[in-house]
Structure 1
Amino acid sequence: MAASSRVHSMTAFARAEQVAPFGTLQVEIRSVNQRYLEPHFRLPDALRDLEPTLRETLRTRLARGKVECSLRFEATEAHQAPAVNAKRLKEIADALAAIQQQVPSAVPPTTLALLNQPGVMETQHLDQEAITSAAKALFDQALDELIDARAREGEKLAVMITTRLAAVSEQVATVRSLLPQILERQRRLLLERLEVAKTDLDPQRLEAELVLVAQKADVDEELDRLTAHVDEVSRQLKQKGPKGRRLDFLMQELNREANTLSSKSVVAETTRCAVELKVLIEQMREQIQNIE
């Protein structure tokens, strides 16, 4: 099956049931987030041999998640309860009647003794091949429903992440727009301190101090990396196949840049933006924990 570009959540539930002449089959699959694929199966003894096949099917369709699969089978009453073989019972009865004519003193057998005669009681044999085939098909159906549910949930997660990415970009743009004012303010404050201190610096020393202030307040590089990471997250959301681990790594990188921005902040405006960035990144990270 070709990998889908849709975002898939790891949290979902699916249930499928089939009623057939041989009995009732029921499949339930539930999954939650997990770093790797961790399947667990509960199968009836009659279908225990089917587990390797179902496990391989699951492995080819899912990449991550703790997945619990439960398969139940209940045979119809006709296949559960023993029945009397009327033909065999009549044969035995005819034989007993003939013996009774020949030996009138013979004691007739009890009903229980008759039932214990070979071939009198029988159970209908289950068509194991038909049951196995139906169980496989039902498991595939439930797995399809689970994947569809994971995709629907994933679409909601993608919308929430995209919304927060836009908010991150807004904060980056805000800080970038403030940079000229911040640098000018820092320059003015330095000059005011020098004026208050009545300290005269030679032009070269003054220029060096201004450069140092500018370097401390300059966060262009961090803003560029934040923008690059935001673009990469958007690109990954559109990629085919599992993407949760890559997105989780990008959240770490975004958080790293937000921390650097916070540490280099010299005014309240950039501090507030850095805090808001970290809140947005943490919200995205929590959502991404559920993405396959």
Structure 2
Amino acid sequence: MIRSMTSFASGKGALGAYSWSCELRSVNAKGLDLRLRVPDWLDGLEAALRADLGKALNRGNVTLSLKVSRDEGGGTLALNPAAMAAVLDALTALEAEALERGLTLAPTSAGELLAQRGMMEAASAEDDTAPLSAAIRAAFPALLEAFLQMRRDEGAALAEVLAGQISRIEELTATAATLAEARKEAMAETLKSNLARVLDSPAGADPDRVAQELALIAVKADVTEELDRLGAHVRAAQDLLAKGGPVGRKLDFLMQEFNREANTLCSKSQSSDLTAVGLELKAVIDQMREQVQNVE
């Protein structure tokens, strides 16, 4: 089975106060280009994910984006020393000023002090990120499998389209062979007529020179080799589709060969019908080349 280079998958997970979301997407490319955006404070995670992707993929521009967040609301609280000192200093100054003016203030409770803004803050102790990295790695195979499945599904659709285009090329090649065979008689009659006109002219002609020119014309008009090579390319393309796997580069090379033979067929045709078939061949080959660009 062939695989497409176009795919997308996403996943989410959580561990304790942490949650993450991950997106994996790819488009076509000549080789394998991995671009990972992973938080650098998760030591070793990017290298591990890159290795997993490298083992599973052969071609494509692949982007992995991992976002990790922490729910601070569920953490422990601690006194903010700076805020506490500021509140106590302000309270001391207030009591001193009241006493100087002969005023008596009610005692301030600890609860009232703690209720002051900024007195309490979330604890910021350093966490061990190894369990989080391990949890993300454990969840990654499922995401990667969903990503690969989309590649396989897209590849199956691509294979169906390519098989139809190869069959059309095979049909057009057979039509071209029939037209080329039918053209031989007409070309022979034309050559005979032209040769007779030259030989009957008063100036005459050099028989050896005439023979050379006729041989050259025959070679230039013969499309047998082009048709044979087109047939061979059709069989090679069918074999690659049946084989499956990462055959995109080989199919791309075949497209160049298909196009070369179709161009030569058109230049040698010397027949409007054969030229029309050659042009249709070129159109189908161009359409097929566009599809091949997405094959891994």
Please tell me the TM-score bracket, short chain as reference.
0.7 to 0.9
Partner of 1:10: 5
Asked if the contact 1:22–1:131 (Cα under 8 Å) also holds between the matched residues in 2, the reply is: no
Tell me the equivalent position of 2:154: 153
SS in 1 for 2:243: coil
The alignment status of 1:231 with 2:256, answered yes or no, reads no
Does the CA contact (< 8 Å) of 1:36 and 1:65 recur in 2?
Answer: yes
Residues 192-237 of structure 1: CA deviation (Å, up to 9, x unaligned)? 44566682789x7787666544333221111111110111111112
Q: Which residue does 1:270 correspond to in 2?
A: 274
1:145-224 equivalence runs, <5 A:
145-194=146-195, 199=200, 211-224=215-228
Q: Secondary structure at the match of 1:164?
A: helix
Counterpart CA distance in 1 for 2:155 and 2:51 is 24
Q: Secondary structure at the match of 2:44?
A: helix
Find the structure with the greater CA-based Rg.
2
Task: Determine the C-alpha separation between the residues in 2 that align with 1:208 and 1:49.
Answer: 74
The corresponding residue for 2:25 is: 30
Distance 1:193 1:36 in 2: 56
Matches within 5 A, 1:242-257: 242-257=246-261
Residue deviations 1:64-111, cap 9 Å, x none? 1111101112223445x44259xxxxxxxxxxxxxxxxxxxxx99894
Compared CA separation, residues 29 and 188, structure 1 to 2 (3 A): same
- Residues 217 and 177 from structure 1, CA distance in 2 versus in 1: closer, same or farther, beyond 3 angstroms? same
CA contact (8 A) 1:44 1:72 kept: yes
Q: Is the 8 A contact 1:44 1:71 kept in 2?
A: yes
Q: Tell me how far apart the structure 1 counterparts of residues 171 and 122 of structure 2 sit (CA, whole Å).
A: 80
Please, which moves more after superposition, 153-162 or 127-136? 127-136
Q: Aligned with 1:277: secondary structure?
A: helix
Identify if the C-alpha distance between structure 1 residues 187 and 19 changes in structure 2 by more than 3 Å, giving closer, same or farther. Answer: same
Q: CA deviation at 1:124?
A: 7.7
Task: Provide the rounded CA distance (Å) in 1 between the counterparts of 2:117 and 2:200.
Answer: 118
Deviation of 1:280 after TM superposition, in Å, equals 0.9
Residue type at the aligned position of 2:223: V
The alpha-carbon distance between structure 1 residues 128 and 236, as it changes in their structure 2 partners (threshold 3 A), is same
Report if aligned partners of 2:72, 2:122 keep a CA contact under 8 Å in 1: no
State how far apart, in whole Å, the 2-side matches of 1:181 and 1:199 are. Answer: 28
Rate the CA distance shift 1:153–1:116 in 2: closer, same or farther, 3 A. Answer: closer
Q: 2:77 aligns with which of 60, 78, 83?
A: 83
**Percent identity over paired residues:** 37
Alignment TM-score, normalising by the size of structure 2: 0.78
Distance across 1 between alignment mates of 2:256 and 2:199:
47
What TM-score, normalized by structure 1, do the two folds share? 0.79
Q: Secondary structure of the residue that 1:68 maps to in structure 2?
A: strand
CA distance in 2, matches of 1:245, 1:108: 78
Query: For structure 2, which runs of at least 5 residues remain unmatched after alignment?
Result: 80-107
Contact 1:187 1:213 in 2 (8 A): no
CA distance in structure 1 between the partners assigned to 2:122 and 2:222 by the alignment: 92
* More divergent stretch after superposition (144-153 vs 20-29): 20-29
Report the alpha carbon displacement of residue 177 of structure 1 after superposing the two structures with TM.
1.0
Partners of 2:11 and 2:151 lie apart in 1 by 16
2:84 aligns with none
List runs of 5+ in structure 1 lacking aligned partners.
1-5, 86-106
Q: Deviations over 1:110-158 (max 9, x none)?
A: 946x9999xx974687563331122112222211111110111111111
